[in-house]
Chains A and B, each alone.
Chain A
């Protein structure tokens, strides 16, 4: 009983890769350590309620049938009709920055780029021409040159935008939406994220991330794929530089031609028997988050807050970095899923607040102090978040929060690094024949990026003879 392919991890990339391989008639199984699927974009139950992880948004919004868009291509490759996603577009989102003088600049945007254009003109009248040149110069999705990957986005932004406050504001959403590196990203990645967020836009599947996951699982199983839960991979077995199979946590072994791993770069190396890197390894991402999900007694709109997502920085320097303190309250993301154009409003509205957090601190806490420290840190975070949104705590009926430690446990990402390693393997190739990386550390982040990663690497493996490069 030999598999054509085994996929490590039932997240977005693993599911998408699995569908592609199963559709091609391959014998394929997805191996997931946990009892729930979704990886970084998952869901769980607490206090009788269902919570979701992740920012609740799909980037790369495209209306049905829009040609040449990432979303259109993904749906076609996975044979999922656009209607099945039931995408609810965002109302509008905001990037907010508080200056040292205490003024708050609020720049709105929606899935219509005209709004962001007019906001730039309103807040920074002399920057409109530069902003247009920036948009025209953005690297595209494919064919970005190595130099686009080598250049700093901040450095390139300064070529187009003179006001440092506007430059800072234009970094906030792209960094929060998917940079594994602190405070900057490559110009190529900036191009992809700016397009995904601003030129295309954001939406949420009706029914949330679980509805999307249900669709993917159904497609995978319909094509004959096998989903194995509670099947953590303990090791990738190999002979003479070529993959032979995997050994599961329970000691059983599965043979296969190929392995596609969404475990991460360093994590996959460890599975192959390379020495385990220390926490100081520069390849382990430093960005992790404290996230709090507050169930509200009424819709945020009833409290005067109609914004879908607020990306904020309390200060002229946006601190997208691992803080020295348990949580960085001076910047974060506030998401209100009920502020998408939903046809069926959520029964219980909620607000989610996410701020950068210090992995080492949370990892080192004793069990006795963990809960109390978490409650305290969430309050610190909400003190500032509320000044950029609405009084969240007085209307909170139930709250659940998780730390970098939780993220590490459920995603397997070392350091709780949500966006993975700062070193990406863009071709997905590894030192072993038959082993390819998919997902976060193949270089694409977010729900759409992850699915595209799984599809791209699976397609390449379909074109190659077994035993080839990947």
Chain B
């Protein structure tokens, strides 16, 4: 997955767990929870989907790394390099 695809992967997961939120215009370096309605239970869901779709394990102490889209790209980049994008909510 490229870095752009990781952004799409995260947006797709958010759209799956929070279908009412608009993910198109999310800024890269603003905290996700400041842009859309996400609580700690929702972050658990993002982590769960990462594991289910890509087999990526994110330990609880690393959840902070996923606070922004940029953080997701930096943290998940190496882990998702060899994976291909899975979409369930968004259309490309």
The 6 A-B residue pairs with the shortest CB-CB distance in the complex, in nearest-first order: A25-B52, A24-B48, A67-B37, A65-B20, A459-B44, A77-B41
Q: Can you report 27 residue pairs joining A to B where beta carbons are below 8 Å apart? A: A23-B45, A23-B48, A24-B48, A24-B51, A24-B52, A25-B48, A25-B52, A64-B20, A65-B20, A67-B37, A68-B37, A68-B39, A73-B39, A73-B41, A76-B17, A76-B18, A76-B41, A76-B42, A77-B41, A77-B45, A79-B17, A81-B19, A459-B41, A459-B44, A462-B48, A463-B44, A463-B60
- In the assembled complex, B65 has its CB within 8 A of some CB on chain A: no
Given contacts A24-B52, A64-B20, A463-B44, list 7 more A-B pairs with CB under 8 A.
A23-B48, A67-B37, A73-B39, A73-B41, A76-B17, A76-B18, A77-B45
B16, CB-defined interface residue at 8 Å: yes
Smallest CB–CB gap between B33 and chain A, Å? 11
Q: What count of chain A residues pass the 8 Å CB interface test?
A: 16
| Distance A339 CA – B51 CA, assembled complex (angstroms) | 46
- Give A82's nearest chain B residue, CB to CB: B20
- In the complex, the chain A residue whose C-beta lies closest to that of B53 is A25
Tell me the smallest distance from the CB of A48 to a CB of chain B, in Å.
39
| A-chain residues with CB within 8 Å of residue B60 when the two chains form the complex | 463
Interface size class of B (residues with CB under 8 A): 10 to 19
Nearest CB of chain B from residue A416's CB, rounded to whole Å: 34
| Per-position binary interface string of chain B over residues 56-75, scored 1 when its CB falls under 8 Å from any chain A CB and 0 otherwise | 00001000000000000000
B residues apposed to A, CB below 8 Å: 16-20, 37, 39, 41-42, 44-45, 48, 51-52, 60
Q: How far is the CA of A65 from the CA of B21 in the complex (A)?
A: 9
Convert A53-92 into 0s and 1s, putting 1 for each residue whose CB lies closer than 8 angstroms to a CB of B.
0000000000011011000010011010100000000000
Residues of A within 8 A of B42 (CB): 76
Could you tell me if A25 and B51 are in contact, using CB atoms closer than 8 angstroms? yes
B-contacting residues of A (Cβ < 8 Å)? 23-25, 64-65, 67-68, 73, 76-77, 79, 81, 455, 459, 462-463
The B contact surface, by secondary structure, is: helix
C-alpha spacing A68/B39, complex, angstroms: 9
**B residues less than 8 Å from A65 (CB atoms):** 20
Residue among B17, B19, B45 with max Cβ neighbours from chain A (10 Å): B45
CA–CA, A23 and B51, complex, Å: 11
Bound-state Cα–Cα, A462 to B18, Å: 20
A462 adjacent to B39 (CB under 8 Å) = no
A108 to B69, CA, bound (A): 49
A410 to B37, CA, bound (A): 40
Min CB distance, A385 to chain B, in Å?
41
A64 to B37, CA, bound (A): 13
Cα(A261)–Cα(B60), bound, Å: 26
Q: Which residue of A lies closest to B52 (CB)?
A: A25
Quote the shortest CB–CB distance from A219 to chain B (angstroms): 13
Q: Which residue of A lies closest to B42 (CB)?
A: A76
Q: How far is the CB of B57 from chain A (nearest CB, A)?
A: 11
Q: How far is the CA of A73 from the CA of B17 in the complex (A)?
A: 11
- Report how far A313 CA is from B58 CA in the complex, Å: 55
List of B residues within 8 angstroms of A459 by Cβ = 41, 44
For residue B18, which residue of chain A has the nearest CB?
A: A76
The CA-CA distance from A455 to B44 in the complex, in Å, is 12
Residues of B within 8 A of A76 (CB): 17-18, 41-42
A65–B60 alpha-carbon span in the complex (Å): 28
Q: CA separation between A172 and B29, bound complex, in Å?
A: 51
Closest partner residue, chain A, to B55 (CB atom): A25
Instruction: Look across to chain A and name the residue whose beta carbon is closest to the beta carbon of B16.
Output: A79
Which residues of A lie under 8 Å from residue B20 when comparing CB positions?
64-65
A73 vs B18: C-alpha distance in the bound complex, in angstroms?
10
A418 to B36, CA, bound (A): 39
Chain B residues near A81 (CB-CB < 8 A): 19
A455 partner residues in chain B, CB cutoff 8 A: 41
**With A and B bound together, what is the CA distance between A462 and B52 in angstroms?**
13
A77 CA / B48 CA spacing, docked (Å):
12
In the bound complex, how far is the Cα of B44 from the Cα of A463, in angstroms?
8
- In the assembled complex, the CB of B41 is this many whole angstroms from the nearest CB of chain A, namely 6
Query: Cβ of B41: which chain A residues have Cβ within 8 Å of it?
Result: 73, 76-77, 455, 459
Closest to A464 in B: B60
Question: Which of B19, B20, B42 has most chain A Cβ within 10 Å?
Answer: B20
Q: When chains A and B are docked, how far (Å) is the Cα of A455 from the Cα of B48?
A: 14
Give A459 to B19 CA distance when docked, in angstroms. 20
Q: Pick the most buried of B16, B41, B52: most chain A CB atoms within 10 A of its CB.
A: B41
Q: Cα distance A67–B39 when bound, in Å?
A: 10
Kindly list chain A residues whose C-beta atoms are within 8 Å of the C-beta of B18: 76
A459 to chain B, nearest CB (A): 6
Task: List the B side residues contacting A73 at CB < 8 Å.
Answer: 39, 41
Bound Cα distance from A276 to B60, whole angstroms: 40
Question: What are the residues of chain A within 8 A of B17 when measuring CB–CB?
Answer: 76, 79
Q: How far is the CA of A455 from the CA of B42 in the complex (A)?
A: 12
- B48 shortest CB reach to chain A, Å: 5
Given the complex, which residues of A lie within 8 Å of B37, measured CB to CB?
A: 67-68
A53, B39: Cα distance in complex, Å:
33
